[in-house]
């Protein structure tokens, strides 16, 4: 088990030797000075410490880098309080980047900088067309199935638009109705073995396989980093211990300032396997 504290350096995992080949790129975006003005929908607003958030973000990015993911920075963090939640701006399927059209109008300007960043990777690019809306946080890929949260940010037209783009790639889109959460990945994520981890009271279970329920709500959010390694919030210590006991290699990071804005470990990056600008 590995715990990353605010701003702390991350050494390569044991046996890595510092020479592990890159797994790909990790799209990330620094917190805006106006992070505290970010949108909250299902939680009460509480003060956000931007400097602590920046330290947590540095440690988060270092954790990704320490496990083989090369950070790919999205520029210009200042104008968009929610810009750090870069996951909402892009969905990557094989060699296709789908640029989203966020459900919150004030976030749509974030997509342009994401497009500029991914241009260096030589991927195909498509867009969710207006007036459809789709947030990347509503998209969970498990094998060749793409689960899409149907809630406050992603609409039916967005589900249809994504389906039209990924069906030719052999993907099946399954819509999932949400209950009282911002995004699908606020309630459900997937472990490296494909098992779904989640909060059954926050989703319509009809479109999903059985969920494995974590000990804490914050434990429903994991980012598979490759192999049996998962990134989890340090605010879910019982889940960290539970996953460790199940045989997963757990990296716990502090993301408490982002959790105040309904963020989690999935929101802060887009992993792009096999593509590296270095």
- State the Cα–Cα distance between residues 259 and 66, nearest whole angstrom: 23
Q: Any bridge partners for residue 231, and if so which? A: 223, 251
- State the Cα–Cα distance between residues 240 and 109, nearest whole angstrom: 36
Cα–chain center distance at 110: 16
Annotated active-site residue 183? The verdict is yes
* Active-site pick, 67, 183, 221, 264: 183
Q: Any bridge partners for residue 245, and if so which? A: none
The Cα angle at residue 264 between residues 262 and 266, in degrees rounded to 5: 130
Strand positions, DSSP E, the chain: 2-4, 24-28, 69-73, 90-93, 96-99, 124-127, 139-142, 145-150, 172-177, 188-190, 196-198, 211-212, 222-226, 229-233, 249-253, 270-273
Q: How far apart are the first and last CA of the chain?
A: 29
* Alpha-carbon distances of 190 from 62, 141, 221, 228, rounded to whole Å: 22, 8, 8, 12
Annotated active-site residue 264? The verdict is no
- State the Cα–Cα distance between residues 165 and 153, nearest whole angstrom: 19
* Active-site pick, 57, 67, 264, 267: 267
Provide the 3-class DSSP secondary structure of residue 119: helix
Catalytic residue numbers?
Answer: 183, 267
């Amino acid at each position: 088990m590995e715990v990353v504290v605010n701003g702390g350096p991350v050494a390569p995992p044991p046996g890595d030797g510092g020479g592990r080949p890159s797994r790909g790129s990790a799209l990330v975006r620094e917190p805006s000075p106006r992070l505290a003005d970010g949108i909250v929908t299902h939680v009460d607003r509480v003060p956000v410490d931007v400097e602590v958030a920046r330290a947590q973000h540095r440690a988060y990015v270092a954790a990704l880098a320490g496990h083989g993911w090369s950070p790919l920075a999205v520029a210009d963090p200042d104008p968009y309080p929610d810009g750090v939640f870069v996951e909402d701006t892009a969905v990557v399927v094989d060699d296709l980047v789908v640029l989203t059209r966020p459900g919150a109008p004030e976030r749509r300007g974030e997509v342009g900088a994401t497009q500029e960043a991914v241009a260096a990777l030589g991927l195909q690019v498509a867009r969710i067309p207006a007036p459809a809306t789709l947030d990347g946080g509503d998209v969970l890929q498990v094998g060749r199935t793409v689960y899409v949260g149907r809630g406050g940010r992603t609409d039916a037209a967005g589900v249809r638009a994504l389906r039209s783009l990924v069906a030719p790639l052999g993907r099946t889109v399954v819509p999932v109705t949400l209950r009282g959460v911002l995004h699908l990945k606020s309630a459900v994520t997937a472990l490296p073995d494909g098992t779904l981890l989640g909060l059954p009271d926050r989703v319509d279970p009809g479109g999903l396989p059985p969920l494995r329920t974590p000990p804490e709500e914050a434990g429903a959010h994991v980012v598979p980093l490759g192999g049996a390694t998962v990134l989890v919030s340090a605010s879910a210590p019982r889940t960290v211990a539970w996953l460790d006991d199940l045989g997963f290699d757990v990296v716990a990071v502090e993301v408490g300032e982002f959790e105040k804005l309904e963020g989690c470990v999935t929101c802060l990056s887009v992993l792009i396997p096999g593509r590296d600008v270095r």
